[in-house]
Structure 1
Amino acid sequence: MTAEYRAHFDFSIVFANGGGMSGDGFRLDLPGHDVSEEDVAALLVRHLGLALVSEVALTDLRIVEEPHRGSRGVEVERRVAADTVIDLSHPIEAGLVTYPGLPAPTITPYLTREDSRTRYAEGTEFAMDVITMIGNTGTYLDAPFHRYADGRDLASLDLRTLVGLRAEVFHVRDAWTSEDRGIRAATFGDRDLAGSAVLIDTGWDRHFGTPRYGSGAPFLTEKAARSLVDAGVALVGIDSLNIDDTESGGERPAHSILLAGGVHVVEHLTRLDAVPARGARFTAAPPAVRGFGTFPVRAFATVAESH
C-alpha cells in the first residue's frame, strides 16, 4: 500500500454567529503529504462537521507519515494488488499459549507417512494427525452459546454474519494507556456501523505468545459494548488478550452484552494495522460444531484494488 500521512497541530476556530472552539495536539488524516495549511483547515472543518465557520487558525502544524485513523471527509485511493488478502490470524502450533492458564494444543500422529505406505499404492502416502485443544486457541470466535446456555452455537450461526462483512477498523494504538486501558464508546461515534465488523487495532498483538501478553491488556468498556449493540454491528474483533478487562474480577460485561445482542466476538486478531480504516471486507468463519460456543477461525480482510 502507499504511504499514509496525518497532520498534527493545535487549532482555534471562530464561528460567524459567535463563539468558538479550540483543540491541542489534534491529529487528522490527510489525502497525501503535499497539502497546504488551508487544506488542513478545510479538512478539519469537514471532519468536525462544522457550519458557519468564519476563521480557522492552526499552530505547530506538522505532517507526519503514519497510518490513517479514519477521519471523516478524507477519501484516499489506495493502489494495491487486486483483492489483496490480509491474514489476521495467529498460527496454531503444539504448545501455543493463547490465554494464560488454558491448556496448550497438542498434535500427535494418527497415521504417519511411513506407516501409510503399507496401505496405499507405491508412491502414494498420507499423514493424518490428531489435534487436541480447547476452543479458545489462537484467533477464535465466540458465539452466543459461549456465554448463554440457550444462545446460538457455532453450527447455527448465519454465514452472512461471518463472511465478507464491511470492515470498520478503529486504529486506537495511541488512544489508550497502561493507566487507562478501556476503549470507550466515544471512539466509535463518528461512523455508521450497522451490519459491519468493528475491528479494534490496539497493537497488543505484538506481545502474543509472550508472558507480557497476559496482563495490562486494553479492552472494550461496558458502555462501548452497549453502544455497538445499539449501532447494530454484526461482529466485534480485537487484537488483545480479551474483549473484557480480565483484571477487574470475574465480570465480563462486554461478552455478556455483545453475545446477548447476537454480536459475534473475535479475539486475538493480529496485523490490524495493515487494514485500512474503511473499505475492506472481513471474514471469520468457524466450523459448524453443534453444542460448541467458541472455536479458532482463519480471520482475514480483503481489500479491493481501489476504494
Structure 2
Amino acid sequence: MAPWLRLAITSTVPHQLYSEEFCSAYSSIDTLKDGVPGIIHMIGNTSKKKILHNLSVDNEENDAINLHQARIQERPILIIDSAWPPKPLRRVGVADGSKFHWIQNGNSVPTSFDSTIKLFSRLLGIISQTVVIFVDDFSDFSSVFELLSPWIRFSCLDIRYRPRLLLISNAFNKKGDPQLFFDRLLRYLTKLQHIIDPTKPHTKADSIEMCQKCFESIQLIPDYPGVTNLIFKHNEDMIARRLASKWVFSASHLQRIIKSAIIHFSLRRTETFNIVLAFRGCDSKKSYKDHIEGL
C-alpha cells in the first residue's frame, strides 16, 4: 500500500521541513465507509515487521509513515506503521504548494527525530487507540526514553482520547524488569524537566502525573508468540472505553480528521488543533452545537 505521509526538507538554506500527503493511501479508509475501525500505531523495525507479516500486511521500506488495513475477526483495523529509527529525510529542490505542507519545527535545521516526535505527539496520539513500541528494535532503553519523553511532555490529552501505550520487549520476560524500566523512565523525565527549568522543583510524582495525562495506561509486555492477539485484545478494550465515552469515529470521519490535522500542523499556527471543527467538515449540514452534542 502507498505510504500515508512522507517527510522532506528543502535543498535551499535555511532548510525547511515539509510533509507530503499521499491521498492514495486513504483508499483503504474509503472502503470502510461508515464502519468504526480500530486504530493501532506501531513503532519499530524488525520486530514490527514480524507482526505485520503475521497480518499479511505489506511493510514498505521507506522513510514514510504507512497506513495499512487489516481485519481481525469482524473488526476492521487501521495500522499506522512508523519505522524506527527514522531514516534521513530526503531533500527536495522546490516545495510544490499543492503537494507539500510546511511544518514549523522551531529548529533552523529540522531533524527527522524532531519532526517525527511532533507528528506522534500532536497528531497520531489523538487518533490512535493503542500505541505499540517494539523496544528491542531500539539500540537501548535510553533511545526509547528519548522518543517517549518529549511525547509525554508535549501531550496533555483529553481523557477521552488518550491512547494506551504497549511496550514490548524480550527483556520484560525477566521478573522485576518491567518495574525497573518504568522507574528509569520516570527518573529520565524528572531529570529532563530539571534541565529545561532548573528554577522549578520537579518530582517523581510530577512525572507520573505527566504520564497519566498523556497515556491511558502504560503496559510493559514480554515478547512471545501470542503477543499479536494480546495487542488486539488491548485495542478492543480501548474501543469499548471510547464507545462508552462517545469518542469514536467512522472511517469517513477519520479520513477528514487526519487530513485536517496534517494541514493544521503543517502551517504557521499557534492555536490548538480543534478536532470538533475537523469533524464538522464531514457534515456541513450540522451546526457546531450539534457536533458538540454528538461528541
Structure 1 length as normaliser, TM-score? 0.30
Q: Could you say which structure has the higher helix fraction? A: 2
Q: Could you say which structure has the higher strand fraction? A: 1
Q: Which has the larger radius of gyration?
A: 1
